[in-house]
Amino acid sequence: MVEKSTLINYLEKQISTTPDRLYANTIDKNGKKLLDRFISIRVKKFLADFQKGNNIENRWITIPGFRGTGKTTLLSQLYHMLLDQGVARDRVLYLSLDEITKLLQSNLYEIIEIYETIRGESLESIEDKIFLFIDEAHYDKNWDVTLKTIYDRTKNIFIMVTGSSALALQTSADSARRMQIEKLFPLTFIEYMKIKNRIMPEKNLKYEIEHAIFESESADEVYNELKPLQKKAMKYWSYIEPFELEKYLTTGTLPFSIGLTKEYEIYQRVINILEKVIYEDISKIDNYDKNTLDKIWNLLIILSDTNRISLESLANKIDLEKPTIFKILNTLSKSELIFPVKAYGTASKQTTKSPKYPFTAPAIKASLLWKIGKLSPTSDIYGKLIQDVVALYFYKLSNITGHFNVHYDSGKGCADFIVSDSRNNSKISIEVSYGVNKDARQAKATMNKISAKYGIVISKRELKIEDNVVFIPHKLFFLT
């Protein structure tokens, strides 16, 4: 056990040096402040309510996310926002449990006790509002129990905690009732350009396009609502250099890539992240032996190079039993390295048809293809990546709204996706293409089969309507 004096020295130094250490996470390579992600709007609202004494039950925010999605940067920005507002640095405590558990062989509970010692008062007697930012929480197996105790001891502490995507799975029922979970997803194209080049579309354009695509009653309504928005979209794209969409598809979904200039450095860093996910994060979710963990690499390579594959085929290719393959895919989904898109239809059909498994960040697929020498600037590769990006957009939409769901059509010659709305049981048939030659046949085949209210083709073709199918150009869709 670490001596108490050592922990006191550590925490005192932590409080005094954190502003300088975290500041580097809040600026770009030119020394300018990084602009906020969309998630900041929601999180800042919780912080503001706490400071005003409103809605104080929502004062424990848990932010799970895949490694490299920007969780530490988000905490750093919010930390400095509070300092800029005049909050004293000893009232904003930032702790990385990775460092505390590995370097100090300590834990969150002990550090909080040390914080009380330094302040000379217990949490219950603290009258100031305290902000507790916990990074990499999953390194302390008892993090949620400790935070539940802190939450219950005083209403004057705001807790924000980040960690691996499986973080929310490690919580007890009691903790889950107290926390508000806000997922941090990979970058959208708008966020990518906002952070990289400070280029932003006109206010509300994103929501107007989203509303037109997903909330319309007919193809005519989609077309008529999107047409007047084209001018605003073209104005936005006029500031963007050629091939930025392709750069986004290959590397831009993970924010750390923006600060790197060489593509191979980005791909190698992603490979390094995958090593940590497989050998550290996944081992915290389910128990696998070293041989099985090694074979997860093979599985990921196969998933990166194919659009759809059965459990039987995967089992044969990497020499594991089918139940083990199913368990691994479920684990990878829990870690949000991939996510399942189930076949559309009855429960029995979803059981018999293997899901598709897009990568949560298409930069992961690009990095795996690079690793095996199959990444090239071709329409075929960009087509694979753009399908994962669109799937990510739908997955994010379903998580945020709670009423949109995404499936795929398992029929031959049918659309890539079906987006359904549980509020009114309406459905949209969606086909995705990188190029300009995609026609409406696949979207129409699915649309007619499921009685969808309309179909959509996302491609490089110009905005047009054809037989209840709307062709939406990339330059409109990627502003959602």
What are residue 162's DSSP bridge partners? 63
pLDDT tens profile 57-84: 899 999 998 889 999 999 999 999 999 9
Identify each DSSP E strand in 12-170 by its residue range: 60-64, 92-96, 130-135, 157-163
Q: Is 221 exposed, middle or buried (0-12, 13-18, 19+ CB in 10 A)?
A: middle
- C-alpha to C-alpha distance for 220 and 212, rounded to whole angstroms: 10
Amino acid at 467: D
Percent of the chain with pLDDT over 70: 98
Chain length of the chain: 480
pLDDT tier for residue 168 given thresholds of 50, 70 and 90: low
CB 130, CB 82: distance < 8 Å:
no
Backbone angles phi, psi at 428, to 5 degrees: -125, 130
User: What residue ranges of the chain are covered by domains with CATH 3.40.50.300?
Assistant: 4-184
Banded pLDDT at 42 (limits 50, 70, 90) = very high
pLDDT in the model for residue 155? 94
pLDDT for the residue 165:
72
Buried b / exposed e across 56-74, counting CB within 10 Å, b at 16+? eebbbbbbbbbbbbbbbbb
Which tokens go with 398? 């379903």
Would you place residue 122 in the very low, low, confident or very high pLDDT band (cuts 50, 70, 90)? very high
In order of 110, 122, 418, the CA distances from 16 in angstroms are: 19, 21, 52
Average pLDDT, the chain: 93
Alpha helices in 238-310 (DSSP H): 244-247, 263-276, 282-285, 290-304
Under CATH, which architecture does the 4-184 domain have? 3-Layer(aba) Sandwich (3.40)
Rounded-to-integer distance, Cα 200 and Cα 191, Å: 8
Q: 């996910």: which residue's tokens?
A: 277
Q: What is the pLDDT of residues 358-413, one digit of tens each?
A: 999 999 999 999 999 999 999 999 999 999 999 999 999 999 999 999 999 999 99
Q: Which residues contact 480 (CB under 8 A, 6 or more apart)?
A: 188, 206, 209, 210, 213, 393
Lowest mean pLDDT among 12-16, 59-63, 138-142, 222-226: 138-142
